[in-house]
Amino acid sequence: MSHETCPNCSSTIKDGLFNSNQLLAKTVSDVINAAQGTNTKGFCGKCGNDLFVTSLTKLKNELIEIQQTISESISKIPVISVHNPYKWEYEVIGLVTSQSVTGTGVFSEISMSLSDLFGSESGSMNKKIKDAEVICMTRLRKETWELGGNAIIAVDIDYSEVGSLRGMMMVCCTGTAIRVTNNEVFNAETRNALEAIHQIMEKHDRINAICKPYMTMSL
Ligand SMILES: [Zn+2]
């Protein structure tokens, strides 16, 4: 048997009941290399075990940050009610829909203010409906992006009450997901956001693939 050593720390690799020191799996090395920015051929239990835990934590945190950035950028995807925007050239991808149900507050909350009951303007109710709209729009944008689109046209918002006694309100959004081919019709902020999603998505997928075998592992 040859005296195999660890490519990283040169410790002897030995396979015994006691004092065993094994080379770690390639998927473990991949996690360490990706997090540390190294390209080491392999790690052994001695030098790699702790390093693996810190590396995986680092990559998982990076993934969370990337997901936040993607969410922010996705919120820049144009959502418009116009059916045929001036000068836009595009391919139609298809219908996108989303729903969000919210309690309007009148029946579901004890701590309602008097204006909610009798006032002309119901503050908390308006806010809840607004929040539901935002949730719907975010879902439309995510779905559109996943379908390969970069804008949504002909958007329609509908409101309906569900459950007459409970004061539940459903907000429904529908629209047509499209892929705009002449991006110059977008403003600079939108163009930058769309470009940013593309770039960061590649990074996200790469890190995600490396972490995948250990995604459910709690640290
Ligand atoms: Zn080692």
Residue 46 has φ and ψ, to the nearest 5°, of -60, -50
State residue 41 phi and psi, 5-degree precision. Answer: -65, -30
Determine the distance separating the centroid of ligand 1 and the alpha carbon of 52, expressed in angstroms. 12
The stretch 77-90 carries a mean pLDDT of 95
- Cα 57 to ligand 1 centre (Å): 20
- Is this structure's pTM higher than 0.85? no
131: closest CA among 82, 169, 80?
169
Q: What distance in angstroms lies between residue 29's CA and the mean position of ligand 1's atoms?
A: 11
| CA dihedral of residues 29, 198, 174, 163 (deg, nearest 10) | 30
- Determine the distance separating the centroid of ligand 1 and the alpha carbon of 184, expressed in angstroms: 53
Centre of ligand 1 to C-alpha 6, Å, is 5
Residue 10 in this model has a pLDDT that exceeds 50: yes
Across 3-17, 51-65, 74-88, least confident range = 3-17
Q: What separation in angstroms does the CA of 34 have from each of 28, 69, 88, 126?
A: 10, 20, 41, 47
* CA 136 to ligand 1 centroid distance, Å: 51
Output the six-digit token pair for 18.
């006691």
Residue 35 CA to ligand 1 center (angstroms) comes to 17
The alpha carbon of 42 and the centre of ligand 1 are apart by a number of angstroms equal to 8
- Measure 54 CA to ligand 1 centroid, in angstroms: 16
Distance of CA 178 from the midpoint of ligand 1 (Å): 52
Ligand 1 geometric centre to CA of 24 (Å): 9
- Say how many Å lie between the CA of residue 65 and the centre of ligand 1: 30
Per-residue pLDDT tens over the stretch 128-184: 888 899 999 999 999 999 999 999 999 999 998 876 656 778 899 999 999 999 999
Determine the pLDDT at residue 7: 96
Name the pLDDT band for 217 (thresholds 50, 70, 90): confident
> What average pLDDT does this structure show over 63-84?
93
Q: Summarize pLDDT for 11-45 with one digit per residue, the tens.
A: 999 988 888 999 999 999 999 999 999 999 999 99
d(CA 34, ligand 1 centre) in Å: 17
CA of 5 to the centre of ligand 1 (A): 8
CA of 208 to the centre of ligand 1 (A): 25
Judge whether 75 and 51 are in contact, CB under 8 Å. Answer: no
Question: What is the predicted pLDDT for the residue at 168?
Answer: 79
In this prediction, residue 111 carries a pLDDT of 45
